[in-house]
Amino acid sequence: MPAIDPSRLEKQVRAVMEAFADPPRLRSRCLDVLEFYASRVRSSGGEGRRGAGRALGVPAAVLRELERGLRTAAAAEGHAAAMAAETLWTTSVQEARLLAIALLERQPVDDLPEWVRAWAQAADDALLLERLASGPLRLIRQSNADLFWRTLAACFESREPSQMTLGLLALQDAIARVDAADLPRLFALLTQAPPLQVGDAWRAHVAVLRETARRSPAEAARYLVDEIERGRPGAGRLARQVIEEFPTRQQEALRQSLRTHAAK
């Protein structure tokens, strides 16, 4: 990988932006820059996800400059931005797809749910799902809370693993800022979460429950007790992972439920 020369990088980014309204040329020039700064080529490490994406190891500074240029161009050319986003997403290169997600954030909020859910199905590694959750889905939440909850409900109702993982990642991103009045909606979504989780979905589910145990211990404990009593696979494991986050009263209720369930 060559050293980053700011003046050279500026010229390279400018050449990419000159092709912004021409999707094939934009794709070609963008990939040229990414390949130029690639430090290594490896297969993406998504757990059981489809796709044959490559991560080139492009430095964050290069991605930031490309993203800055793309966002500036998108602000002036909305339709071209949509075309550019779709074109970059169709590549097999992780960094190009990350740039596509950045462009997606320049689209009208009402259009984002369909895009996000479609892209989640094609996402081939954890980073892409995390970026969809902390980028476009966060933008939806900040702009239209009801649309955010409806979008997550659709993700969970799909029963499609990558969409359900996206939903859990979005809840993890949102949990510290979710209005207390919306916590019942959050727990209603969690009851639809995949029962046997691994990897990113599991970590996000645990993180959400840890935060809810601190914010609303009674509601969080009730959710876990209900899941244990329903015999949901993984419910006991979830409770044991987060039990220390609860006050004494809720801890005892959870331990009692675990003991009772184990005895059956």
Amino acid 196: pLDDT: 64
Report, as an integer, the average pLDDT of 206-220. Answer: 95
The residue behind tokens 């700064």 is 37
Task: Compute the mean pLDDT over every residue in the chain, rounded to the nearest whole number.
Answer: 90
Amino acid 1: pLDDT: 59
pLDDT digits (tens, 9 = 90+) for 222-264: 999 999 999 888 899 999 999 999 999 999 999 999 999 775 5
Report, as an integer, the average pLDDT of 80-99. Answer: 94
The pTM for the full model equals 0.87
- In 48-171, which ranges are E strands? 54-55
Amino acid 40: pLDDT: 47
Least confident of 44-58, 106-120, 172-186: 44-58
Confidence band for 79, pLDDT divided at 50, 70 and 90? confident
Cα–Cα distances in angstroms (integers) from residue 138 to residues 129, 132, 221, in the given order: 12, 8, 27
SS3 label, residue 21: coil
pLDDT digits (tens, 9 = 90+) for 1-46: 578 889 999 999 999 999 999 999 999 999 999 999 998 444 444 4
Amino acid 123: pLDDT: 87
Report, as an integer, the average pLDDT of 94-109. Answer: 94
34 by Cβ neighbours in 10 Å (0-12 / 13-18 / 19+) ranks as: buried
The more confidently predicted of residues 174 and 193 is: 174
